[in-house]
């Protein structure tokens, strides 16, 4: 488990970060700093998949109150998890250009404040889910939180396999929504939950390898072990990206076989999957940061598009 020392570090981190960081025109407000601790853009996308999981599992029996309670509870847990992730990584973040201006390494928020904020949000989120949604949804959220904060986060300095492990909590948010709607079983049960998990799990590998390639120097400077760090030519990174993006294509047929979605989803998953795969192949041919960024952009387009098609199919066509 990780050793966390909370005292007397804000000043040291401030001086490290401010030595490298370009001066800001205006210091961010306290609100903006706390918001940054929650990684809001990732949280919004994750909540989109929570909502999709709920609506797919609930079908015609969807209740807006349960959906909103699930989103609120899961949102608090995700926000708390991100704050604790940044707390544990503050010294690493201070050594990386992409992250050194974050509130903790820059010394704008103290480790004690981040610890209280993160633990408070996550605890409140879990309690809220337990009180207003269900035990299965609470257990799924707790598992996601523990896997993200206490398994994946410390693994980042140990082995490049951390990405595969991080993809587990990354793929669990729609399962939280699924369990909120169906409990441990009922309807499509585990098969449907597994189908949404599989899409998100595979999607994350090219999504993150593109980022890991663009920031490979940064990750090495921070002491984080990522595949591009031990693959200077990028050939292995590109190979894994292409294979995982290609393996999303059969899901266009396998997910409907699990009882989720139909022809509309299959068509969407093939079209958007082919576009995503094309970007990874372009990267494999020309392993530049520019091509990696295009993979990242197409990943951020693919995911909402495919989940939207899955929901359209399940809610409108069937
Ligand atoms: C192994 C799992 C994952 C890792 C390691 C990872 C890592 C990252 C990193 C480092 C960035 C910042 C890129 C930059 O600064 O240019 C990013 C961006 C993003 N990620 Fe992921 N991610 C993962 C999974 C997910 C999941 C599950 C979601 C949501 C469903 C997600 C949604 C996003 C979004 C929306 C962005 C763009 C917004 C932003 O830069 O904050 N990611 N990801
Ligand atoms: C309910 C709940 C806890 C939900 C959260 C699940 C979730 C969306 C996890 C994201 C997965 C992930 C590894 C993201 C960012 O990596 P990173 O943290 O390594 O990114 P960084 O390099 O920017 O710190």
CATH assignment of the domain containing 41: 1.10.357.140
Which burial class, exposed, middle or buried, applies to 203 when counting CB atoms under 10 A from its CB (0-12, 13-18, 19+)?
Answer: buried
If you average pLDDT over residues 79-98, what whole number do you get?
97
Same domain, 246 and 158: no
Q: Tell which atom from ligand 1 comes closest to the C-alpha of 171.
A: 27
Same domain, 298 and 225: yes
- The Å distance, Cα 318 to ligand 2 centre, comes to 34
- The Å distance, Cα 74 to ligand 1 centre, comes to 17
303 CB contacts (<8 Å, ≥6 apart)? 45, 49, 200, 203, 207
Q: What is the mean pLDDT of the chain?
A: 90
Domain boundary among 162, 187, 212: 187
- The Å distance, Cα 257 to ligand 1 centre, comes to 29
248 CB contacts (<8 Å, ≥6 apart)? 199, 202, 203, 269, 273, 276, 277
Percent of the chain having pLDDT more than 70? 90
Same domain, 152 and 202: no
Domain boundary among 139, 162, 187: 187
If you average pLDDT over residues 269-295, what whole number do you get?
98
What pLDDT sits at residue 208? 97
pLDDT of 259 > 90? The answer is: no
pLDDT of 24 > 70? The answer is: no
| Residues 94, 21 contacting (CB under 8 angstroms) | no
Q: Is residue 19 part of a domain?
A: no
Number of domains the chain contains: 2
Which one, of 117, 135, 114, lies nearest residue 126 by Cα? 135
Nearest residue (by CA) to ligand 1, atom 14, is 211
What pLDDT sits at residue 59? 83
Phi/psi class of residue 197: alpha, beta or left (left: φ > 0; alpha: ψ in -120 to 50)?
A: alpha
Lowest mean pLDDT among 53-67, 80-94, 185-199: 185-199
Same domain, 176 and 261: no
Global ipTM = 0.94
Q: How do residues 114-142 score in pLDDT, each as one tens digit?
A: 999 999 999 999 999 999 999 999 999 99
Same domain, 173 and 216: no
| Residues 54, 64 contacting (CB under 8 angstroms) | no
Same domain, 176 and 195: no
Confidence class of residue 293 from pLDDT cuts 50, 70 and 90?
very high
If you average pLDDT over residues 221-250, what whole number do you get?
97
Q: Is residue 141 part of a domain?
A: yes
Q: How do residues 156-195 score in pLDDT, each as one tens digit?
A: 999 999 999 999 999 999 999 999 998 876 556 778 889 9
Give phi and psi for 4, each to the nearest 5. Answer: -115, 120
Best residue among 43, 49, 85, 218 to mutate for probing ligand 2's pocket (most ligand atoms within 8 Å of CB) is 85
What pLDDT sits at residue 186? 58
What pLDDT sits at residue 11? 35
- The Å distance, Cα 318 to ligand 1 centre, comes to 32
If you average pLDDT over residues 211-217, what whole number do you get?
97
pLDDT of 1 > 80? The answer is: no
Best residue among 41, 42, 145, 153 to mutate for probing ligand 1's pocket (most ligand atoms within 8 Å of CB) is 42
Q: Is residue 125 part of a domain?
A: yes
* Cα gap 44→16, rounded to integer Å: 31
| Other beta carbons less than 10 A from residue 101's beta carbon | 19
Same domain, 46 and 152: yes
Confidence class of residue 314 from pLDDT cuts 50, 70 and 90?
confident
Nearest residue (by CA) to ligand 2, atom 13, is 166
Q: The domain containing residue 311 runs over which residues?
A: 189-318
Nearest residue (by CA) to ligand 2, atom 14, is 170
Q: Is residue 20 part of a domain?
A: no
Q: Is residue 15 part of a domain?
A: no
pLDDT of 235 > 90? The answer is: yes
The residue count of the chain comes to 318
Same domain, 142 and 39: yes
Domain boundary among 150, 167, 187: 187
If you average pLDDT over residues 101-126, what whole number do you get?
98
Q: Tell which atom from ligand 1 comes closest to the C-alpha of 303.
A: 30
Nearest residue (by CA) to ligand 1, atom 16, is 211
Q: Is residue 11 part of a domain?
A: no
Q: Is residue 265 part of a domain?
A: yes
Q: Is residue 22 part of a domain?
A: no
113 CB contacts (<8 Å, ≥6 apart)? none
Task: For ligand 2, say whether the CB of 78 is within 6 Å of any of its atoms.
Answer: yes
Task: For ligand 2, say whether the CB of 42 is within 6 Å of any of its atoms.
Answer: yes
If you average pLDDT over residues 200-214, what whole number do you get?
98
């Amino acid at each position: 488990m990780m050793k966390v020392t909370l005292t007397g570090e804000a000043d040291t981190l401030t001086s490290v970060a401010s030595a490298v960081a370009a001066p800001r025109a205006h210091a961010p407000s306290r609100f903006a700093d706390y918001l940054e601790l929650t990684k809001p853009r990732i949280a919004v996308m994750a909540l989109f998949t929570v909502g999709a999981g709920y609506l797919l599992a609930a079908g015609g029996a969807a209740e807006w109150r349960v959906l909103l309670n699930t989103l609120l509870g899961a949102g608090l847990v995700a926000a708390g998890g991100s704050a604790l992730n940044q707390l544990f990584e503050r010294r690493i973040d201070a050594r990386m250009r992409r992250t050194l201006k974050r509130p903790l390494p820059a010394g704008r928020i103290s480790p004690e404040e981040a610890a209280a904020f993160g633990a408070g949000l996550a605890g409140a989120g879990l309690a809220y889910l337990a009180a207003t949604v269900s035990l299965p949804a609470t257990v799924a959220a707790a598992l996601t939180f523990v896997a993200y904060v206490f398994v994946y986060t410390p693994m980042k300095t140990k082995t490049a396999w951390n990405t595969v492990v991080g993809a587990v909590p990354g793929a669990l948010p729609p399962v939280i929504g699924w369990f909120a709607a169906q409990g441990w079983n009922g309807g499509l049960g585990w098969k449907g939950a597994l189908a949404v998990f599989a899409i998100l799990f595979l999607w994350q590998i090219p999504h993150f390898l593109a980022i890991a390639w663009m920031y490979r120097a940064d990750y090495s400077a921070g002491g984080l072990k990522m595949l591009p760090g031990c693959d200077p030519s990028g050939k292995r990174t590109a190979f894994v990206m292409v294979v995982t993006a290609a393996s999303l294509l059969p899901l266009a047929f396998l997910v409907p076989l699990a009882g989720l979605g139909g022809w509309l989803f299959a068509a969407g998953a093939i079209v958007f999957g082919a576009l995503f795969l094309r970007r990874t192949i372009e990267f494999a041919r020309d392993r530049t940061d520019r091509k990696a960024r295009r993979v990242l952009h197409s990943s951020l387009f693919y995911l909402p598009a495919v989940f939207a098609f899955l929901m359209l199919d399940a809610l409108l066509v069937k």
